[in-house]
Structure 1
Amino acid sequence: MFGSSVEAETLDPHDTVDNFAWRAIYYCYDRLVKFRGGTTEIEPALALSWEISPDGTSYTFHLRQGVTFIDGAPFNAEAVAYSFRRLIELGRAASGTVEGILDVSGIEVIDEFTIRFVLNFPFIPFLGTLATNQASIVSPGVEQHGPADHGASWLAEHSAGTGPFYVKEWRRGDVIILARNENYWGPKPALREVQIRYIPEAAVLRELLEKGEVDMAEVLTDEQLDALAGVSGVTVFEAPSFSVCRLYLNCTKPYLSDVRVRQAISYAIDYEGIIYAVTKGHAVQMRGPIPQGMWGHDPSVPQYTRDLTKARALLAAAGYAKGFRLTMLIDPGIPAWVDIATIVQANLAEIGISVDIVGYARPTMRAMIDRSEHEISIGYWTPDYPDPDMFAWYWFYSKNRGLGGNRSFYTNPRMDELAVGQRAEPDPNKRLEMLKELQRIAVEDAVYVYLYQATYRTAMREWVKGYVYNPMLLYMPNFDTISKDYGAG
C-alpha cells in the first residue's frame, strides 16, 4: 500500500509530465532502454543493443523478441514506430522530449525487430530521453478505443504496455490498483498488487504510516519526516537530488509583464526563511535555473537575496510605489506549498503587494496553469534525463508555454535561440557558454523565483525491502523489485 497526498491527473504516458502521475504509469510500461539501478547509466530493456552513427544523428535499435503487450498485441518494430508517432502526433506536454529532435519522417522500420531513428541534429542526451516515462512503448491496440485521439481518452484511465504491472482499476479520489503482469517477459515482481491510495491530508497519511496501514508515504512535510525518523519500524530515506522548487511569475499578466516588478518580487522573498521553515534546512537556495551538481550549472550566476530597499525602489521605478494585488495559485493538498504561499504573502505585503492565495486540487491547478489562468503559482521540477536541457529548453523556450515547462509564459527571442541552440551544439565548450548566457538572462529577467534545491526524502516501513533510489525517477519507487518482509519492522 502506497499512500500519496497527491492524486494522478492521467495515466497516459504520452500526455503528462507529472511525476506524481508517472508513479502509477512507469511500471506498467517498458522502454527501449532503462536506467541501471540507482544510476543514470543506460542499459538495454526492450532494445537488446543499438548502434549510433558517427555523426550522432542515427540510432538503430535491435529489439527483444517474444514480448507481448498486456492486450495481447505483439511487440515489434511497428509497435515502437506507432508509439513514437503517437507521442509526436498527440503533441501534448510529454512530446517535448522529442520536439524538434525527432520527426515522424525520421522513424524507420528496418525489419520486424529493427528500428532506426534519424534525428534532425545530433542531440547528445537522446539515449537518456528514451529511458523516460514519455518514451514508454504503447500498444497499437489503443487505436481501437478511439483513433481520432489515438485512444487518449481511454488510455487516460487504463494501461497498454509490456511492463511488469498493469492498471487493474482506478477509482478517482480513492485508489489506483496495479496488478502484476503474470506474462511479463522479465523477472516477475514480488508484489502481486500495488495500491496507490490517495490520502489528501498529510497528517492522516503520516498517522497511517506510523500504524503500519500503509507501507510507503509521499508527499509529507520535512517536519513530519523528521518526526517519523524517530518512530520504531519506520525508515526515512534521504539523498541529494536535482529536484527544485520555483515560483511561476506569469509574464503575460499586468504588473508581472514588467521585469522590474518580477525583480522586486525576487528581492522581497525571504529565501532562508522559506528553506528553514518549510524544509527544516533540507535544501539550499537555487543559484539560477540549472541545479548544483549538474553539468552546465554556473556557480557565478547572481543570486537574489532579500533586500526590501531594492524591491521597493524597483516597484517605484515601475510606477507601482503604492503596490497592487495579485493572486497565487496552489494545491492546498501539498502542505509545503501552503507554507510557502503564506510566507510569500507576508514577504510581498512588506513591499505593498497584496497576495490572495487561491487553492485548487492539483489536476485543476495544473489545467489552469496550462491555460495561463494564474498570476503567481508554484511547482516542483525534477529532470527526467541527466542533462541541463531539462532546465534550459523546457523552462525558457517560448513554444513550451504551459505545462510543457515554460510556466511563466516567458518570451524572449534570444532565449529561444539559446534554448534551442544548446540542444544542437555538439561542442561541449560552446554549449557551456550558451548555457551560461541563458542562466544569466534567466536570473536578470527574473523569469521565475528560484526558491530551493531540495534533498529527496521519503518514508517507509522497515518491512519494505529492495527500495532503490534513482535521481531521474523521483516519486516513482521501483515497484518491480520491491518486496515486503514482515519479519522486519
Structure 2
Amino acid sequence: MTNIITYDDAAGTVTIQLSTPWGPFLATLAQSWGSILDKDWAVENGAWDGDCATWQNFYGVTSETSPLGKIVNGTGAYKLDSWTPGEEKVLVRNAEWWRTEPTAEGLPAQPAIDRVVLKGVSEWGTRFAMMQAGDADNVSVPRDSITQIDPMVGEWCEYNLETAGFDCEVLSEQPLRLFKGAPDVSRTDVFFTFDLNVEGGNPYVGSGQLDGNGIPPDFFNDIHIRKAFNYCFDFDAYINDALAGEAVQVSGPLIPGMIGYDVNGPMYNFDMDKCAEELQAAWDGQVWEKGFRLQVAYNTGNVTRQTIAQILQNNFASIDGKFRLEIIALPWPTYLAEFRNSRLPVAVSGWIEDLHDPHNWAQPFLIGTYAGRQNLPQEMWDMFNALVMEGVAETDNAKRAELYKNITQVDYDNAIAIRGAVVTTRSYWQRWMGGYYYNPIYGWDSRYYTLTKQ
C-alpha cells in the first residue's frame, strides 16, 4: 500500500496506482468506506498504525470493539456536538471547512445552517405533529401515511429522469414542499433457473418432465419460455397494486439515473397475445400441447414478491388452465439455500446496490450472484462476462455509457429474467428550507451543507 498510494501536498493531489483500470473507482471512494480520517489522530486513539506486522490485530473489528466507534474526527462541513444514541445527534457548522467553491450552481460553498439536530422519533404520529407545528424541517413518512400528510403540501416537485432534477410547481399556500419520483437504489426481479438442480429429487418441478404435470430441468433454456414469462407479466398491475403506483419500470439490469441507463431503452410490455405466441413456439409446440406445472418461490412475509407471483399465476391460467404456476412461500433460510443451490425454477428476489455504479448492477445480474444461482449456460455467461469486463475497465464515462446500453440490449434479447421496477422516493420538507437535491450515492450527513433555511 505504501508504494501504490502517493501524495503531493503542494499540488493537493493523491495518486493511487491500480493493478487494472477500474471504472467505478470514484464511485467506490465516494461511499462511507472511502471516508478520510486524520492518521495521527486515529493512531493516537488506538487505531492501526499501518505496521504490516500487526494488521491482523485490527482486522474484522466491529462497531462495538472499534476504538473509533464512539468518537469522531473528519473533514466534513459539520462537526459532532453531542450524541445520545437512539435519541439525538447534534451537529454544528465547521467554520474551518476546506471548500471554497460550490459543488453545483445555486448551492452554497459553505454551510448556511449553523446547527443541525437529528432526532430519533419512531412514532409516526409524533413526527406528523412536529411537521404540523413547524417543529421539524423534514421527517420520514411511511408510504401508508402519505394521504395524511399530502394535504399539507403546497409545492409539488416531480423528478425528471432526463435532467436528473426536479420540476416544481406551487399549487397552494400549504406549508410543505414534496420532492417525489426519484428512483430508489433497490429492485425486485423474477429469475429463471436454466439448469435446475434435481439431485435427490426436486419438489418444485412436479414430475420433472414436459408432460403437463411438471417441467424438465432445462425448461428455461428455451428463449420462447423466457419471453412468454416476460410478456405475461402485467407491469402496470405490479406497480399499482404492490408499489402504490409510485415506481418506474426499468430497461435492463441497470437502474434509472445511472451511467449507461437509457430511459428509452428496450423493455417488455404486458401483452397476452405475444405471451400465447411464445408459448406456442416453445419446445417445438410441446408446451402449448401439454402445458406445464412448476412452483414460483418467494420468501415468507414479503407481500410485494407474493403479488408478483400471483400476477404471473393468474395471467398464465387465463390463457389456459394447463399452464400451472403454484406459489410457494419459504422461510428465508430455506428460500436462500434453495435459490443458491439452483433448485427453484422461478425465484422472486431483489438487490440493493453496494455502490452507485452500473457495474454493481451488471455484475451480479449477468455474471455474479444471480447468474450463478440461475445456472446460466457457459456460452451465455462467457458472452456477458466479456461485455461486463469491458464496461468496468473503461474509465471514460461517455464510452462506458455506450457499452452499458449495449449490455442492456443483449440482456433484453436473451430475456434471462423479468426486470422489475424501481420504487420512487418521497421527501417532505418545510417550504422555508432550500438546497435539497437528490443524489443516491450521498448519505444524509453529506447533504446538510447544501441546505438553507429562511
TM-score, normalising length: structure 1: 0.56
Assess, with a 3 A threshold, how the Cα gap between structure 1 residues 149 and 369 changes in structure 2: closer, same or farther. Answer: farther
Assess, with a 3 A threshold, how the Cα gap between structure 1 residues 344 and 191 changes in structure 2: closer, same or farther. Answer: farther
Assess, with a 3 A threshold, how the Cα gap between structure 1 residues 242 and 342 changes in structure 2: closer, same or farther. Answer: closer
CA distance in 2, matches of 1:451, 1:114: 42
In the TM superposition, residue 384 of structure 1 has moved relative to its aligned partner by 4.4
Assess, with a 3 A threshold, how the Cα gap between structure 1 residues 149 and 478 changes in structure 2: closer, same or farther. Answer: closer
Assess, with a 3 A threshold, how the Cα gap between structure 1 residues 264 and 239 changes in structure 2: closer, same or farther. Answer: closer
Question: Is the 8 Å Cα contact of residues 264 and 311 (structure 1) preserved in structure 2?
Answer: yes
2:433 to 440, 445, 465: 465
Assess, with a 3 A threshold, how the Cα gap between structure 1 residues 108 and 146 changes in structure 2: closer, same or farther. Answer: same
CA distance in 1, matches of 2:339, 2:119: 29
CA distance in 2, matches of 1:382, 1:434: 20
CA distance in 2, matches of 1:414, 1:146: 39
Question: Is the 8 Å Cα contact of residues 296 and 436 (structure 1) preserved in structure 2?
Answer: yes
2:146 to 225, 246, 261: 225
Partner of 2:179: 237
In the TM superposition, residue 249 of structure 1 has moved relative to its aligned partner by 1.9
Matches within 5 A, 1:175-214: 175=86, 178-180=89-91, 186=97, 190-191=114-115, 193-196=117-120, 199=122, 205=124, 207-212=125-130
Deviations 1:72-119 (A, max 9, x none): xxxxxxxxx6xxxxxxxxxxxxxxxxxxxxxx9633466898642012
Partner of 1:456: 425
Assess, with a 3 A threshold, how the Cα gap between structure 1 residues 449 and 467 changes in structure 2: closer, same or farther. Answer: farther
- Corresponding position: 1:149 with 2:70: no
Question: Is the 8 Å Cα contact of residues 184 and 422 (structure 2) preserved in structure 1?
Answer: yes
SS at match of 1:229: helix
Aligned residue pair count = 359
Assess, with a 3 A threshold, how the Cα gap between structure 1 residues 250 and 180 changes in structure 2: closer, same or farther. Answer: farther
* Letter of the structure 2 residue corresponding to residue 220 of structure 1: P
1:131 to 30, 41, 44: 30
Assess, with a 3 A threshold, how the Cα gap between structure 1 residues 392 and 310 changes in structure 2: closer, same or farther. Answer: same
In the TM superposition, residue 415 of structure 1 has moved relative to its aligned partner by 0.9
Partner of 1:416: 385
SS at match of 1:414: helix
Partner of 1:288: 252
In the TM superposition, residue 328 of structure 1 has moved relative to its aligned partner by 0.7
SS at match of 2:151: coil
- Corresponding position: 1:106 with 2:7: no
Assess, with a 3 A threshold, how the Cα gap between structure 1 residues 466 and 423 changes in structure 2: closer, same or farther. Answer: same
CA distance in 1, matches of 2:373, 2:431: 40
Assess, with a 3 A threshold, how the Cα gap between structure 1 residues 212 and 427 changes in structure 2: closer, same or farther. Answer: closer
- Unpaired runs of 5+ residues, structure 1, are 1-80, 82-103, 333-337
Assess, with a 3 A threshold, how the Cα gap between structure 1 residues 459 and 413 changes in structure 2: closer, same or farther. Answer: same
CA distance in 2, matches of 1:196, 1:146: 36
CA distance in 1, matches of 2:3, 2:227: 44
In the TM superposition, residue 472 of structure 1 has moved relative to its aligned partner by 2.7
CA distance in 1, matches of 2:393, 2:404: 12
Between stretches 279-288 and 161-170, larger displacement belongs to 161-170
Assess, with a 3 A threshold, how the Cα gap between structure 1 residues 406 and 216 changes in structure 2: closer, same or farther. Answer: farther
Matches within 5 A, 1:348-427: 348-351=313-316, 352-358=324-330, 376-379=347-350, 381=352, 384-385=355-356, 388-398=358-368, 401=369, 412-425=381-394
In the TM superposition, residue 272 of structure 1 has moved relative to its aligned partner by 1.1
Deviations 1:193-222 (A, max 9, x none): 42445x5xxxx63x443322876444633x
Deviations 1:391-426 (A, max 9, x none): 33453232xx27xx9886767122111111122236
Partner of 1:75: none
Assess, with a 3 A threshold, how the Cα gap between structure 1 residues 218 and 146 changes in structure 2: closer, same or farther. Answer: farther
In the TM superposition, residue 153 of structure 1 has moved relative to its aligned partner by 5.7
Assess, with a 3 A threshold, how the Cα gap between structure 1 residues 342 and 239 changes in structure 2: closer, same or farther. Answer: closer
Partner of 2:292: 322
Larger Rg: 2
Between stretches 261-270 and 140-149, larger displacement belongs to 140-149
SS at match of 2:383: helix
* Letter of the structure 2 residue corresponding to residue 282 of structure 1: E
Assess, with a 3 A threshold, how the Cα gap between structure 1 residues 248 and 409 changes in structure 2: closer, same or farther. Answer: farther
CA distance in 1, matches of 2:372, 2:434: 36
Assess, with a 3 A threshold, how the Cα gap between structure 1 residues 185 and 323 changes in structure 2: closer, same or farther. Answer: farther
Question: Is the 8 Å Cα contact of residues 106 and 119 (structure 1) preserved in structure 2?
Answer: yes
Deviations 1:230-261 (A, max 9, x none): 13655432254474633152647556973446
Identity among equivalent positions (%) equals 16
Deviations 1:171-195 (A, max 9, x none): xxxx475453798953787445424
SS at match of 1:301: coil
In the TM superposition, residue 133 of structure 1 has moved relative to its aligned partner by 2.9
- Corresponding position: 1:249 with 2:191: yes
Question: Is the 8 Å Cα contact of residues 254 and 261 (structure 2) preserved in structure 1?
Answer: yes
What do you get for the CA RMSD once the two structures are aligned?
A: 4.9
* Letter of the structure 2 residue corresponding to residue 237 of structure 1: F
Partner of 2:165: none
CA distance in 2, matches of 1:380, 1:216: 28
CA distance in 1, matches of 2:334, 2:69: 23
CA distance in 2, matches of 1:132, 1:397: 23
In the TM superposition, residue 269 of structure 1 has moved relative to its aligned partner by 1.7
- Corresponding position: 1:277 with 2:201: no
Assess, with a 3 A threshold, how the Cα gap between structure 1 residues 289 and 229 changes in structure 2: closer, same or farther. Answer: same
In the TM superposition, residue 130 of structure 1 has moved relative to its aligned partner by 2.5
In the TM superposition, residue 483 of structure 1 has moved relative to its aligned partner by 7.7
SS at match of 1:230: helix
